[in-house]
Structure 1
Amino acid sequence: MRIGLLGTGPWARMAHAPALSAHPDVDFAGVWGRRPDAAKEVADEHGTRVYDDVDALLADVDAVAVALPPGVQADLAARAARAGRHLLLDKPLATTVEQGRAVVEAVRETGVASVVFFTSRFLTETEAWITEQASVDGWFTGRAEWLGSVFTGESPFSDSPWRREKGALWDVGPHALSVLLPILGEVREVAAAAHGPGDTVHVVLRHASGASSTLTLSLTAPPAAAGAGVELRGAGGVARLPESSEGAVPALIRATDALLTATRTGRPHPCDAAFALRVTEILTEAEALLER
C-alpha cells in the first residue's frame, strides 16, 4: 500500500513518519504539509518525496495518514475519502459533530477503510486488558484519569494552538473514552461536567449497561502528578489498567496493520471513523455542559 503523510508537526515527526518508514508492507510515498520547508525536512529524513500540492499527493497514493489539527484533518480526510483513498487518522476525528459526520459520510459513500489512531487501543497490553474486561459481566462503575503536564512541563506540544483552545477534554478525553466504551458500553447520557484547576475537567457518564463512569482530564497537571490510569469496580472485584512500556511508533505500526486488514477484508475496525464520530459527539455534549 502506498501511503502519503499529511502533516509535519511534532506528532508527524515522532510517530507517523517513523512508523510509515518502518512498516514492511507500506510504501511511504510522500509528505505534504502546510509549511513546505517542514515537509521537505520530513521527506528528506525518511527518503521520500515532498509534495507541494495535496491533490497531487492524493493522486499518487492508496491511503493517507493524517497528523494535523482536528479541524484541518476532518476537511482533508473527507476530501481524501471522496478521492477513494483509505484513511489512517488521528484523534480526535474532529471538534464539531458536523465535520465528523462529513468524514463518516464520505467513508460510507466511497467504501474506503478508516482507522483512527487512539493510541491506547493499539498498545498490546492495553488492548488485551480491554478485551479481557469486556468479557466480564457486572461492572458497576469505572474511573479514568488522564493527567498531562503539556502546559506546565516540557512538552513538544506546548505550542499547539488547538490544544490551547480546546484543552484536555478534546486532547486526552478521546483516550479515556476509547478504553471505557468497549468495556462499559455505549454512553446513554453525559450526566455532568465541571471545571477543575487550569484546563482540568471532570465528566460523569451513564452507560447503557447500567454502569457509570467518571473522567478526570488535564493538560495542566503538575509534572509530578502527571499520569494515566483506569480502574473498574464491579461484582467480580476491581481491575486496573496495566502500565505499558510501548511507545507510539509500535502502536502506530499496529494501527497501520489494522488499516491494511480492513482494506483487505472489507470489515470495519472497531476504531474506525464511525467510532471516532461517537467520541466527538460525547465530547461535544460534555463541552456544552461546561459552557453552561
Structure 2
Amino acid sequence: MSEQVAVGLVGAGPWARLVHAPVFAAGPETRLTAVWARRPEAARELAESYDARACAEFDELLDVCEAVVFAIAPEAQPPLAERAARAGKAVLLEKPIAADPDTARRLADVIDTAGVGSMVALSARYAPRVREFLAHLESAETPWRTGRLTCVTGAFLGGPFAASPWRQARGAILDVGPHAFDLMSVALGDIVDLRADSAGAGWAALQLVHAGGAVSQLVLCCSAEGGHRYDVDVSGSAGAATLDLSTAIDGSAFAVLRAEFASLVRDGGRHVCDVRRGLYLQEIVARAEQQLAAAR
C-alpha cells in the first residue's frame, strides 16, 4: 500500500487505549490521525501518546481522517457512525453495533445508502488460527452435527471492563454473545432457532439449532470467580475438532483486522464481517435476551 490510511478514533476508554490506538498507530497500513471522545481530557491524553490530534468536536475528526474506528458503548455508536458514513468515511464498528435491532437496522441502512465500507471488530474472525480452524471445518466431506462453545471469564468482576455500565446492565449475552453466535453460525450454519436459560449470577446457557440440522450449546458468563475458559469444539461422523480460543486470539488478529480495514478503505467492496453481519448477530442477541427476560 503506497500511502497509509488516515484513521480517526472515536473513544478513549479501555478498549481504545489497549487495542485500537496502538494497533492503528502502529501501521504500516494505517496511521492514527485524530482522537475524539466525550471526555476531552481523555481524548487529549490518548492522542498525545501517539502524536495524534485531539479533536474538540466530532466533525473536526471527520475533517482530518479517511476512515473512522469506534470504541464506544453500543447506545452511543449508531448516531456517530451514521454521521461518519454520510460524510463518506469507512467505519470499523465495535460489537454489538447498537443497543437494539431497530437501531442496528437503521445504521445498516444508512451505511448501505452511503456506499461506504464497514467492518465489525469480531476479533476471533481475524485471528489466523481461528481462520484455519474454520477452514478445516468447511473442508470436511461430511457435515458436523454438534458443537459447543464456552466463554467463562471474570471480566465483569475486575479489570478494565468491570466499570462498564452497559456490560454490567446487559451481561455476557450482549458483550460476548456476538462473538459466540458468530463463530457457531460460521462453524455449523445459520442459527434458525434458539433457547436461552439462565442459572443466575450472570450465567447463560443457550441451545442453538442451525440450518441443515446441526445443534450446539453455548455457556456464557463474564462474572465467574474461577474456572475461566474460552474454547469451542464440534463433532460429526468425520470426527471432532477443538480450539482454545483464549490462546488463538492474540495480537496477530488485530494486525489482520488493520490490514483488511485499510484494504477496504482503499479498494472498496464488502467484508464478510460488515455491518449486515453485525445486524444479524444483534437480532440473535435480542431473541436470547427476550427469552431470558421472560424466564425471570
- Report TM bin, short chain: over 0.9
CA deviation after TM superposition for structure 1 residue 248, in Å: 5.3
1:170 equivalent in alignment to 2:174: yes
Please name the residue that 2:212 is paired with.
Answer: 209
Q: What is the distance in 1 between the residues matched to 2:247 and 2:218?
A: 23
Match of 1:139 in 2: 144
Q: In the alignment, residue 227 of structure 1 is paired with which amino acid? A: R
Matched with 2:16 is 12
For 1:110 and 1:266, the matched residues in 2 are separated by 13
Spell out, residue by residue over 1:46-91, the C-alpha distance to the aligned partner (whole angstroms, 9 max, x if none). Answer: 1110001001111221100000011111221122111111011111
Q: Please give the secondary structure, in 2, of the residue aligned with 1:109.
A: helix
Give the partner amino acid of 2:171.
G
Q: Which residue of 1 aligns with 2:105?
A: 101
Q: CA RMSD in A?
A: 1.5
Identify the residue that residue 155 of structure 2 maps to in structure 1.
Answer: 150
- The one of 204, 224, 227 aligned to 1:225: 227
Point out where structure 2 has 5 or more consecutive residues left out of the alignment. Answer: none
TM-score, scaled to structure 1:
0.95
- Structure 1 residue aligned with 2:43, among 29, 39, 42? 39
Q: 1:74 to 1:135 in 2, by over 3 A?
A: farther
Alignment of 1:272-283 (within 5 A): 272-283=274-285
1:208 Cα deviation from its structure 2 partner: 0.8
Partner secondary structure for residue 104 of structure 1:
helix
SS of alignment partner, residue 71 of structure 1: coil
Instruction: Note the C-alpha offset of 1:261.
Output: 2.4
d(CA) in 2 for partners of 1:79 and 1:196? 41
Write out per-residue CA displacement over residues 181-222 of structure 1, whole angstroms, 9 at most, x where no aligned residue.
1121111112x1111231111111111121011111101112
Which runs of 5 or more residues in structure 1 are unaligned? none
Amino acid at match of 2:265: T
Amino acid at match of 1:125: R
What SS does the aligned partner of 1:195 have? Answer: strand
Report deviation, 1:23: 1.3
Post-superposition shift, 1:263? 3.2
Report the secondary structure of 1:42's partner residue: helix
What's the secondary structure of 1:140's corresponding residue?
Answer: strand
Alignment of 1:1-292 (within 5 A): 1-136=5-140, 137-152=142-157, 154-190=158-194, 192-222=195-225, 224-243=226-245, 245=247, 249-292=251-294
Q: What SS is found at the alignment partner of 1:3?
A: strand
Give the conservation status (yes or no) of the 8 Å contact 2:146–2:215: yes
Q: Is the 8 A contact 2:156 2:167 kept in 1?
A: no
Bigger CA drift: 255-264 or 210-219?
A: 255-264
Q: Provide the C-alpha distance between the structure 2 equivalents of 1:161 and 1:149, rounded to a whole number of angstroms.
A: 16
Report the CA distance shift for 1:247/1:40 in structure 2 as closer, same or farther (over 3 A): farther
Measure the CA separation in 2 of the matches of 1:268 and 1:118.
15
CA distance in 2, matches of 1:291, 1:233: 31
The one-letter code matched in structure 2 to 1:64 is V
Which segment is superposed worse, 12-21 or 256-265? 256-265
TM-score normalised by structure 2 residue count: 0.93
Deviations 1:16-61 (A, max 9, x none): 0000110112121100001000000000111110001001111221
Counterpart secondary structure, 2:258: helix
Deviation of 1:247 after TM superposition, in Å, equals 6.0
Q: Which amino acid aligns with 2:154?
A: S
